[in-house]
Structure 1
Amino acid sequence: MTETAFAEALGAFDAALATTTEVEGVWKALQALADVVVGAKLFTIMKVDWATERSGRVYTSHPDEYPVSGTKPMNRTHWFDTIHIQRKPFVANTIKDIADVFPDHETIWQLGCGSVLNWPVFIADQMVGTVNMLHDEHFYTPARVEAAKHLSLAAKAAFLAAEHLARK
């Protein structure tokens, strides 16, 4: 990722947030930025509902395999400890490591993905959700995870914009 590519992608993200009137447009803009910053074959957004201790997918790049519907209980494994307690991104770079945490690992593998980067999004001292990026095995190198820090503020803005649009 060059500085110019990042600046252009960030400008496009900003313009999309300023003009979109649909929640899906917010997430598509974040996905486009993530594609430039880190890269993802599969991109999803999960939102957390702490009152019910459930999470739900609110956006997906693959609606057939990962539809936006329903919720599931919080995944309280070392994944949860990493993203919620330690407030760090969760990275698994092999399908075996993914299988240790996610029961849908076979679907992930069928989509050609063998690594995952889950970026936790915190606002007002509470995790509101995760930005989930999946790609080939060993794709999320330390350099790519470091680059993903550039998504942190944009992810917060996207969650807030989506919440604003959902209230309209």
Structure 2
Amino acid sequence: MTVSLSTVEDKTRATIGVRLFTVLAWVPERQALRRVHSSHPREYPVGGEKTVEVAAGWLARCITAQEPYLGPDSAAVREIFADHELIAGLGCGAVINVPVVADGRTLGVLNILDAEGSYDDDSVEAARNLAPLAVPALLDLMKETENR
């Protein structure tokens, strides 16, 4: 049975805490990230896409190099995300982005946000350990998209 992205959110909440949780699927042919899960669907609806609004260095790190990103404070969030005002409005000032990888391929990213100062290197490691739980759900979503 595939673990749902809601279950991944619940496990993340229980393990490191989260105020805003989204999962983005990587769409390489468009160099875009498509939101496939959101804890705040009104502010961050499923189906929304991010392209040029994401900093190039972030894409190189998370998508290409498959390394997590830790933004421990609101300055780091402002530097990376064009929607930093909405993020701050939700009470978030720290972010962990963890790539979801299968067979060497980046499938997507877990976006984990909470109040400024909530996360550190131990939080990143815990998030990295949660990312594989999202692999089956992202693979299923990719198959659905291909079959349309």
TM-score where L is the length of structure 2: 0.87
Indicate whether 1:63 and 2:16 are aligned: no
Q: Distance between the aligned counterparts of 1:145 and 1:33, measured in 2?
A: 14
Secondary structure of the residue that 1:100 maps to in structure 2?
helix
Residue equivalent to 1:121: 100
Residue equivalent to 2:17: 39
Q: Distance between the aligned counterparts of 1:109 and 1:162, measured in 2?
A: 30
Does the CA contact (< 8 Å) of 1:37 and 1:150 recur in 2? no
TM-score where L is the length of structure 1: 0.77
Larger CA deviation: 101-110 vs 143-152: 143-152
Q: Distance between the aligned counterparts of 1:51 and 1:86, measured in 2?
A: 18
Does the CA contact (< 8 Å) of 2:110 and 2:131 recur in 1? no
CA deviation after TM superposition for structure 1 residue 153, in Å: 2.1
Q: How many residues align?
A: 146
Amino acid at match of 1:29: T
- 1:59-108 deviation line (CA, Å, top 9, x unaligned): 10001111113323253522112212332111101111111110100000
Larger CA deviation: 33-42 vs 74-83: 74-83
Secondary structure of the residue that 1:140 maps to in structure 2?
coil
- 1:114-151 deviation line (CA, Å, top 9, x unaligned): 00001101123221110110001011111111222320
Residue equivalent to 2:133: 154
CA deviation after TM superposition for structure 1 residue 163, in Å: 4.2
Residue equivalent to 2:56: 77
Q: Distance between the aligned counterparts of 2:50 and 2:139, measured in 1?
A: 22
Q: Distance between the aligned counterparts of 1:145 and 1:69, measured in 2?
A: 26
Q: Distance between the aligned counterparts of 1:80 and 1:163, measured in 2?
A: 20
Q: Distance between the aligned counterparts of 2:72 and 2:36, measured in 1?
A: 24
1:49 maps to which of 24, 27, 30: 27
Percent sequence identity over aligned pairs: 29
